[in-house]
A and B are shown apart, each in its own frame.
Chain A
Amino acid sequence: MANQLPLVALRDVSFRWPRTSGDALRVARFDLAPGERVFVRGPSGSGKSTLLSLVAGILVAREGSASFMGREWSTMSGARRDACRGDHIGYVFQQFNLLPYLSVLDNALLACRFSPRRAERAGEPKREAERLLARAGLGAELWTRKATELSVGQQQRVAAVRALLGRPELVIADEPTSALDEELRDAFMRVLVDDCAEAGSALLFVSHDPRLAAGFQRVVDIRELAA
C-alpha cells in the first residue's frame, strides 16, 4: 500500500457494556489499510458486532484509542460521528437491511440522502445506483418494487449496492451471508468483493464461516486480537 496511514486503527481498546462486569471486547492492535480487504473470523458471541460498532464509531471505547481516517472517534461529537459514518462508511447487516416502505432504488440511494459527499462522489447517484443494481443482477423491473417484495438474496445485494454507492472509504459487512444458501452466497460475495475493488473501498468482513475467506488479503481471528 502506497498510503501507509491506516484507515482504521485500534490500539489497546477495551469495551464494556453498561451495568456489566467484564469486557465485551479487548483489542490490543488492529489496523486496516485503505482499500484492504480483511476477513474477521469468530464464533457467535465473540464480540464481532462490538468490534464493528467500535470501528464504525457507533460505540466509543472507554479505554484505548479507536481512530478512523486518522481521527479519534472519541474526540468527535455524536453528530460529527454520525455524519462521518454516513460520509465514509457503508454498512451491510446480517439481514433486514432495507426500509420496508421505500422502493429498491430509494433504499440503494439511502446513504446519499444523508451524505452530500456520498451523493457527490456517486456522480449522478440515481444513474450510478441503477448501474450497480443492474450489475448485481437486479433488473430494471425490480427497481420500483417495494424492498419487501424481494427475496432475501436480492435484498442483500441491494444492501451491498447501498453500502458501496458513492465509493465510501470503508465497507463493513456483518455476517451478510448467513441467511443465504450456497449459490446466493457466492453471488453475493462476488458482487461485494468486485464492487469494493472497483470503488477502491476497504472491506471489513465478519463471519463465522471460514469458507468465505477466499477473496480476502488477510484473515484475522477475533480471539487473537486481544493478545
Chain B
Amino acid sequence: MKPMLGMAARSAWNRRFALSLVVISIALSTFLLLGMERVRKDMRAHFSNAVSGTDLIVGARAGSVQLLLYSVFRIGAASNNIRWASVEAVAKHPQVAWAVPISLGDSHRGFAVVATTTEYFGRFRYGDRQALAFSSGQAFGKPFEAVLGADVAASLGYKLGDRIVLAHGDGALEENDHAKNPFTVVGVLARTGTPVDRSVHIDLPSMDALHAEAAPAPGGPSFGPLPPNAGTAPAAAPANSPPKSVTAVLVGLKSRAAVFSMQRWVADYRGEPLQALLPGVALDELWELVGIAERSLLAMGAMVFVVGLAGMVAVILAGLDERRRELAILRAVGAAPRHVMALLALESALITLGGVLLGIVATYGVTVLASGWAQSRFGIALRLEPPAAGEWTVVGAMLAAGLLAGLLPGLRAYRLSLADGLSPRI
C-alpha cells in the first residue's frame, strides 16, 4: 500500500480545484463540531466555577434553575424578592454558619449591580474554593461606596476614587439614571473568571435608597414636583435600617451533612413560600435542559459532516469515469485491483484528513480571535488548549467515517478495473 499513498496524494493534488470545495465543507463541519464541543466545555467550566463553598441558595419559590441563573449568573428573569424577616430566620437557624443576602435588579452600563453585605467578600468562594481578593482598595464601609469587579473596572476605565452613577432597572432608559446619587469607587476585585468580574457591589441600604428615590414611598406626594431636598446625596443617606427585602441569600452550613434537612426546613418555612437550592444540583438540572439543545446542535454538525462526505464521494465517483485510463495504466504496470481500490480509498482518507486538519486550525484560529469578545461579552474564557478526549473522539470518528466513505469509490474502482483490464471502455 505504501506506493499508493504518495500517488493518492499527487492524484488528489492534481484535481485540487474540484476537491478543495469538498475539503472546505469537511473543514466547516469539523469546525462546527469542535467549536461546539469547545464552547460547551468552556461554558460548563465557566458555570461550574462561578460558585463554590455555598451550600444553599435561598430565594423565592420558582424554578431552581431560574433562581440559580438569576442569583449567581445574573441571567434571565428576575425572581421574586424575599422578606428581610425570612433572611433573619434563615441566618438564625442553628445549622447555618453564615448567610449573605444579595439584592439584584439594577445595573450600571450593562453591568449588574449587586447589593450585599461586607461579609460577601469574606464568604463568597469560586472555582476551587478560592476567596475573593482585592486588586486595589477595600470593601465598602458606608453607603454610596462601590466595589467593582475586574471586568467592570477594566472595560469602563474606572479607578479608585471615581464617582459613578447607578441606574434603576436595566439602565436602558435615560430617565432611570440616578444622577443625584453618585457612588464612589472604593475597591476593585481581582479577576475571578466568574460573573463577579462583571458586577458592581454596593451595600444594601444604598440600594434601598436608590429604589426609594425611583419610586416615592406610598403616602408620599404622588403627583406634583418632588420636594426640593428629595434625593440630594447627604439628605438621602439611608438610615442604617435593614432593607425590606432581598433577592436571595447565600448560605453556608456548619456541616454539609445538614444540607437536605436545611433544604426541607426552608421549603416548610411558614412566613412566605421559599426554596433552597443546592448549586451543584441546580447546575445539573441546567445541563439537562441545555443538553437537549446541545444534542440537536451536535446532530446538525454531524449531518453537515455527512453532507460533506457525500459531496466527497460524489466528486470522486464523478471523476472516476475519466480516470479509467489511469486505472488501466496501473494494472499494466503490475498494480492489482486492490491497489486501485487503495488508491481511491486513500484519496478519500487524505481529503477527509485535510478537511479535518483545516477545521482544527480554524477552530483554534477562531478561539484566539473570539476569546476577547467572549470574555468581555459573556465573561466566558475560551481557552486555547490541546484537544481534550472528547474532541479526539470527534476527530477520530470523522476520520473513520471518511475512510469508510472512501471504500465506496474504492470498490467502484476495483470493479471497473477488473472489468476493464487493460482496455477501458470509455
Interface on A for B, CB 8 Å cutoff?
49, 52-53, 56, 58-59, 78-79, 82-83, 85-87, 91, 93, 96-102, 110-111, 113-115, 162, 174
Q: Are A101 and B14 in contact (CB under 8 A)?
A: yes
Residues of the B chain whose Cβ atoms lie less than 8 Å from the Cβ of A115 = 333-334
Question: When chains A and B are docked, how far (Å) is the Cα of A87 from the Cα of B335?
Answer: 11
Query: How many whole Å from B260's CB to the nearest CB in chain A?
Result: 70
**CB-nearest residue of chain B to A97:** B329
What residues of chain B lie closer than 8 Å to A162, measured between beta carbons? 333
What is the distance, in angstroms, from B324's C-beta to the closest C-beta of chain A?
A: 10
Instruction: Let me know if B336 and A78 touch, CB within 8 A.
Output: yes
Q: What is the interface residue range for chain B against chain A?
A: 20 to 34
Tell me if B280 counts as interface (CB < 8 A to partner A): no
Closest to A91 in B: B332
Which residues of B have CB within 8 Å of A93?
A: 328-329, 332, 422
Are B335's CB and A114's CB within 8 A? yes
Partner of A98 from the list B3, B329, B335 (CB cut-off 8 Å) is B329
Beyond A78-B337, A110-B329, 16 additional pairs, beta carbon < 8 A: A49-B423, A53-B421, A53-B423, A59-B421, A82-B334, A82-B335, A82-B339, A85-B334, A91-B333, A96-B325, A100-B14, A100-B326, A101-B10, A114-B333, A114-B334, A174-B422
Contacts of B336 in A (CB 8 A): 78-79, 82-83
A-B CB proximity, top 4 nearest: A86-B334, A101-B14, A82-B336, A91-B332
Chain B, residue nearest A96 (CB): B325
Total number of residue pairs linking A and B with CB closer than 8 Å: 71
Interface residues of B in 364-421 (CB under 8 A from A): 421
Residues of B within 8 A of A53 (CB): 421-423
Contact, CB under 8 Å: B338 / A79: yes
Q: Which residue of A lies closest to B339 (CB)?
A: A114
With a cutoff of 8 Å between Cβ atoms, the chain A residues found around residue B13 in the complex are: 101
Least CB distance, A30 to chain B, in whole angstroms: 18
Q: How far is the CA of A17 from the CA of B330 in the complex (A)?
A: 22
Whole-angstrom CA separation of A131 from B366 in the bound complex: 53
CA gap between A93 and B333 in the complex, in Å: 11
A-B contacts, 8 of them at CB < 8 A, read A52-B422, A53-B423, A87-B334, A91-B422, A93-B329, A93-B332, A102-B7, A174-B422
